[in-house]
Amino acid sequence: MKQIKNRLKKHMFWIGLISLVLMLVDNVLFCYFILS
């Protein structure tokens, strides 16, 4: 049971990290298209 919880925590961490990166990339592309 403990192992599953740890794996879930890691999974949530990666999902958060990836969504954060995608948000940043989206903002950068948006600014790039507006300014160009």
Read off the tokens for 32.
């790039």
Is the pLDDT at 31 greater than 80? The verdict is yes
Alpha-helical regions (H) of the chain: 2-35
Give SS3 for 1.
coil
pLDDT in tens, 5-25: 999 999 999 999 999 999 999
Looking at residue 17, what is its pLDDT?
97
Task: Assign 1 a pLDDT band (cuts: 50, 70, 90).
Answer: confident
The whole-angstrom separation of Cα 19 and Cα 26 is: 10
Looking at residue 24, what is its pLDDT?
98
